[in-house]
Amino acid sequence: MSDVSVIGTGAMGSALVEALAAAGGAVTVWNRTTDRAAALSGPRVGVATSVAEALTASPLTIVAVSDHELGRTLVEQARQDLDAKVVASTSFVTPDQSEAFANVVRAAGGRYLDLEIAAFPGQVRSGHGVFVVSGQRTAYEAHRACFERMGRTTYVTDAPAAAYISGMAVQVAFLPMAVGLLQGLRIAEAQGLSPDWFKKAVLELYPFHIERLLDRVTARPDASAPDVEASVDVMVAGAAEYGGALREMGLDAGMYDALHRLFVAASEAGHGEDDWTCVVEHVATR
Ligand SMILES: NC(=O)c1ccc[n+]([C@@H]2O[C@H](COP(=O)([O-])OP(=O)(O)OC[C@H]3O[C@@H](n4cnc5c(N)ncnc54)[C@H](OP(=O)(O)O)[C@@H]3O)[C@@H](O)[C@H]2O)c1
């Protein structure tokens, strides 16, 4: 018997296995391409020859395959009795998809958890993962120590997909920022500025801005005393300027074109002179 099984040893699965083993856990792994699982085997890591064997080897199994449908199908096809077992899936799910996976696990007698990982594999591997968990609280509590050995762990609620939906609320701004940083670096380099200069400039500016920005977007505006920091029309012009400049530099302007459309919609709806944060009405309905 091992402490935890991991199904899928791709980039994230192998990082989870290494973190768990480094923290002193006994781990069982299964992977479709057996060589990738075998490469992880060692004093603390054993290789299972089937999904069913991995599911029975430990009280907790983490499924880290490409997507939720594949994870659910692998568990369903294993036809394994999951009495007293917990299955946690790392794949993004909507509430309906989470329910479907949970039903498969429940039908086999087990309990299901959504396991959102808000970190890259390298961070997980070094024990600095960030995990958000939802599902039956008792199932989480039973394996809390295991998750905490791999990094920072937060339990949200038992609502289906809550880990993913709350994680998405926090991270939906991350990808546009990451792509924007890649574009920004290209622009800086084209100006003869070094990556170190770029990194320093971003680190000087963003931490300051993020706090003010959060204050601004979470503030409840007082309709009787409108406070316009930057109007929608200022943003219409700004988005158009950046979009045009990106195009001229041979960079994709799609993100700024989308922002421009959004601000134009708010302006055409009569909000041109209102604070730019009123665009939330259009973000919510479009
Ligand atoms: N990478 C990240 O930064 C990151 C961050 C957070 C969460 N996650 C989550 O972690 C999970 C795994 O992502 P990853 O980055 O590790 O992906 P990956 O490196 O592409 O690994 C995919 C895994 O799925 C397996 N797989 C694919 N098709 C299969 C099939 N038909 N039958 C059985 N196994 C199959 C692969 O097995 P083979 O080795 O045989 O191909 C491999 O183990 C995903 O749910 C992802 O959302 C990833």
Domains of the chain: 4-160 (3.40.50.720), 171-285 (1.10.1040.10)
96: helix, coil or strand? helix
Q: Residue 226: its pLDDT value, please?
A: 74
Closest C-alpha residue for ligand 1 atom 42? 10
- Evaluate whether 90 touches 118 at the Cβ level (below 8 Å): no
Question: Cα–Cα distance between 279 and 258 in angstroms, integer?
Answer: 13
How far apart are the CA of 127 and the centre of ligand 1, in A? 19
Q: In the prediction, which pLDDT does 284 show?
A: 61
Best mutation site among 12, 33, 74, 150 for ligand 1 pocket (most ligand atoms within 8 Å of CB): 12
Nearest C-alpha to atom 3 of ligand 1 is from which residue? 120
How many beta carbons lie within 10 A of that of residue 127, not counting itself?
A: 14
Q: Which residues pair with 134 in a beta bridge?
A: 114
Q: 185-243 pLDDT, tens per residue? A: 999 999 999 999 999 999 999 998 999 889 888 887 666 667 888 999 999 999 999 99
pLDDT tens profile 91-129: 999 999 999 999 999 999 999 999 999 999 999 999 999
Ligand 1 center to 212 CA (angstroms): 37
Name the more confident of 184 and 220. 184
- The pLDDT score that the predictor gives to residue 285 is 54
Tens of pLDDT along 13-68?
Answer: 999 999 999 999 999 999 999 999 999 999 999 999 999 999 999 999 999 999 99
